[in-house]
């Protein structure tokens, strides 16, 4: 309502300005003409203005005033030169204000009627044939034409803007993504929202986070994700040609997704040719993605907190068992041991076997308890390999001021803890060697996993090894230990180095079990 009032007041001010300037024009050109019609128009407009501004008056009254104003203006036009009156522009602007009182369809009907009636009535009043009268009113026809063009342009623009505002509002107020639901639910939700905006264009939101379980993604998402992982890493929105599962080449707009910290967590694929997606659609896509990113960030934090809480609780339970039952059992086992020793010298076979049995039981429970403690404590050791390695490398490289390039390719849901531990320690050892001995500026680490093996490459641009990495040299750097651990997992390790040209250590470890998508 306030908005509408502002519009009306603004247009009334305009009308007054126009009326005044037209009046000046009128006075300047024909001094001897009467000024009464102008005064009448001014009077009518004043009445209309008062009707609008006095808030107590009904809308109907101001509409009525408006109609009266239009009639007075027709009279004004008639008195000041008909269709070539200097007040024509003023009159058209007043006519455009009908929109403030009616809807668009009524606006067109009313203005058409008004503008066509004026020359008809004027011609009739002057006793001239209508066709001749109209043929002589060039300015009038021209202004009418401009009036309708202007009206159509405004109408179209308003409609467009309203449409976009509606879309934006619907994105803004749409249901917040439920925290902790599985990623697949959130992905589905976002895809649906995007499809609504992009008019059912095919699109896929492929996540590439390390803690993704296979059931969190549909096969087609995994398919496209694997295809994208083989490409060189994307940093910006790019148009790519990807192969669909049925073998067709598809033009895709690929947008890498990042969380607020800048780390990439996946891609959005939209089936679109270069430049096909309108700018507004791209903006809305961005808005929806922002919402998803916020969800993703929040969910991650919640999961971390949850994980920490569980780990803490388990730690407490483990500590309690360790401090309580485990110690009691230790004590009990020693007591039994001594008791047995005493019995052996003094007592019967039967009693001895009974004590042996008790001893066995205590030993068993002791073992169980130990396993339980390890299991409970072990929970905190379950870690995400990629993240752990990245963190460790940043720590090592950061403290030594060496540039780090860490790449990882491929995806696996689960891996044997021993393999993970070996990979972690191998990279740690190798990176430490680079920092300590290589005098390098750059450290390059690549971790790649396929369905059959892990490949780890640690490269530097330092001084290199003098003997092209023979075992003695490696041994000095504690690499034999690592080499043994990798060989124990049936892997292999090779060192290549030219004097002064850096060192490249490559390790491969076969995977225990394959679980990937084609």
CB of 352 to other proteins, least distance (A): 14
Whichever of 65 and 465 has its CB closer to other proteins, that residue is 465
Q: Which of residues 339-358 bind other proteins (CB under 8 A)?
A: 341
Nearest to 66 by CA among 26, 34, 111, 2: 111
Q: Which stretch binds other proteins (CB under 8 A): 128-136, 257-265, 360-368, 402-410?
A: 360-368
Concatenate the DSSP letters of all residues of 439-460 into one string. Answer: --SEEEEEEEE-SSEEEEEEEE
CA distance 25 to 19: 10
Label residues 458-496 b or e (16+ Cβ within 10 Å = b): bbbbbbbbeeebeeebbeebebeebbebbeebebebebe
The residue among 57, 76, 67 whose CA lies nearest residue 5 is 57
Residue from 53, 145, 150, 330 touching other proteins (CB under 8 A): that is 330
Determine the Cα–Cα distance for residues 373 and 326; give it in Å rounded to an integer: 9
Regarding 370 and contact with other proteins (CB under 8 A), the answer is yes
SS3 85: coil
Report, in Å, the least distance between residue 398 CB and other proteins.
23
How far apart, in whole angstroms, are the C-alpha atoms of residue 144 and residue 338?
Answer: 116
Out of 157, 214, 367, 398, which residue is the one contacting other proteins (CB under 8 A)? 367
Nearer to other proteins, 329 or 419 (CB): 329
By CB under 8 A, name the one of 21, 84, 180, 327 that touches other proteins. Answer: 327
* Residue among 387, 452, 376 nearest 212 (CA): 387
Q: Whole-number minimum distance, CB 304 to other proteins, in Å? A: 23
Residue in 377, 380, 446, 496 binding other proteins, rule: CB under 8 A: 377
Q: How many beta carbons lie within 10 A of that of residue 269, not counting itself?
A: 23
* 488 versus 515: smaller Cβ distance to other proteins: 488
Q: Which of 125, 331, 500, 501 binds other proteins (CB under 8 A)?
A: 331
| Binding of other proteins by 495 (CB under 8 A) | no
- What part of residues 415-444 is at the interface with other proteins (CB under 8 A)? 425
* Residue 323 sits in the site that holds other proteins (CB under 8 A): yes
CB of 495 within 8 A of CB of 505?
Answer: yes
Query: In this chain, which of 157, 214, 245, 475 binds other proteins, going by CB under 8 A?
Result: 475
Handedness of CA 336, 340, 343, 345 (dihedral sign): negative
Element (H, E) at 10: helix 2-29
In the bound state with other proteins, the residue whose beta carbon lies nearer, of 242 and 352, is 352
Q: Which of 374, 384, 441, 514 binds other proteins (CB under 8 A)?
A: 374
- Which residues lie across from 447 on neighbouring strands? 408, 456
The pair phi, psi for residue 452, each rounded to 5°, is -110, -30
Instruction: Pick from 180, 335, 353, 384 the residue near other proteins by CB under 8 A.
Output: 335
Decide: is 382 part of the binding site for other proteins (CB under 8 A). Answer: no
Q: Which is nearer to other proteins, 150 or 337 (CB)?
A: 337
Among 65, 134, 205, 373, binds other proteins (CB under 8 A): 373
The answer to the question of residue 446 lying near other proteins (CB under 8 A) is no
**Residue 17 three-state SS:** helix
Shortest Å, Cβ 410 to other proteins: 27
Interface segment toward other proteins; rule CB under 8 A; list 63-71, 197-205, 372-380, 404-412: 372-380
Q: What angle do CA 284, 263, 288 make, to 5 degrees?
A: 15
Tell the smallest beta-carbon distance from residue 211 to other proteins (Å): 23
H helical segments located in 198-348: 219-230, 279-321, 327-346
Applying CB under 8 A, the residues found at the interface with other proteins are 322-323, 326-331, 333-335, 337-338, 341, 363, 366-367, 369-371, 373-374, 377, 425, 475, 478-482, 484-485, 488
């Amino acid at each position: 309502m306030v908005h509408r009032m502002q519009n009306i007041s603004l247009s009334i001010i305009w009308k007054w300005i126009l009326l005044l300037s037209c009046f000046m024009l009128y006075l300047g050109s024909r001094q001897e003409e009467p000024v009464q019609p102008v005064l009448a128009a001014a009077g009518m407009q004043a009445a209309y203005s008062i009707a609008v501004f006095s808030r107590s008056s009904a809308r109907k009254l101001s509409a009525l005033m408006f109609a009266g104003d239009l009639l007075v203006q027709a009279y004004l036009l008639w008195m000041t030169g008909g269709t070539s009156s200097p007040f024509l522009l003023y009159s058209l602007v007043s006519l455009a204000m009908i929109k403030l009182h009616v809807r668009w369809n009524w606006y067109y009907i009313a203005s058409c009627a008004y503008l066509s009636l004026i020359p008809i009535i004027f011609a009739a009043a002057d006793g001239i044939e209508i066709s001749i009268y109209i043929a002589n009113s060039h300015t009038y026809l021209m202004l009418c034409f401009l009036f309708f063009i202007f009206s159509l342009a405004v109408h179209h623009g308003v409609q467009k803007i309203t449409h976009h505002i509606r879309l934006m509002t619907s994105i803004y107020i749409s249901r917040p993504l439920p925290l902790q639901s599985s990623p697949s639910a959130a992905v589905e939700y976002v895809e649906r929202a995007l499809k609504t905006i992009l008019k059912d264009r095919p699109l896929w939101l492929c996540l590439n986070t390390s803690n993704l379980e296979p059931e969190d993604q549909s096969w087609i998402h995994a398919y496209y994700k694997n295809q994208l992982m083989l490409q060189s890493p994307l940093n910006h929105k790019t148009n790519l040609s990807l192969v669909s599962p049925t073998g067709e080449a598809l033009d895709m707009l690929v947008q890498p997704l990042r969380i607020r910290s800048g780390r990439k967590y996946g891609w959005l694929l939209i089936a679109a040719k270069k430049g096909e997606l309108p700018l507004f659609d791209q903006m809305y896509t961005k808005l929806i993605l922002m919402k998803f990113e916020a969800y993703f960030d929040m969910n991650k934090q919640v999961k971390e907190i949850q994980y920490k809480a569980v780990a803490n609780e388990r730690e407490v339970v483990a500590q309690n068992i360790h401090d309580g039952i485990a110690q009691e059992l230790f004590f009990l086992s020693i007591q039994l041991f001594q008791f047995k020793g005493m019995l052996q010298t003094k007592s019967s076979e039967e009693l001895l076997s009974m004590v042996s049995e008790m001893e066995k039981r205590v030993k068993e429970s002791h073992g169980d308890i130990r396993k339980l403690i390890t299991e409970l404590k072990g929970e905190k050791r379950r870690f995400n390999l990629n993240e752990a390695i990245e963190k460790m490398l940043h720590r090592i490289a950061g403290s030594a001021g060496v540039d780090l390039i860490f790449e990882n390719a491929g995806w696996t849901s689960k891996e044997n803890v021993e393999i993970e531990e070996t990979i972690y320690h191998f990279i740690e050892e190798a990176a430490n060697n680079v920092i300590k001995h290589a005098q390098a500026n750059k450290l390059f680490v690549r971790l790649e996993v396929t369905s059959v093996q892990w490949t780890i490459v640690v490269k530097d641009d330092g001084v290199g090894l003098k003997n092209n990495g023979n075992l003695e040299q490696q041994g000095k750097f504690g690499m034999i230990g690592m080499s043994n651990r990798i060989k124990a997992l049936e892997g292999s390790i090779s060192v290549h180095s030219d004097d002064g040209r850096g060192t490249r250590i490559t390790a491969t470890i076969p995977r225990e079990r394959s679980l990937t998508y084609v």
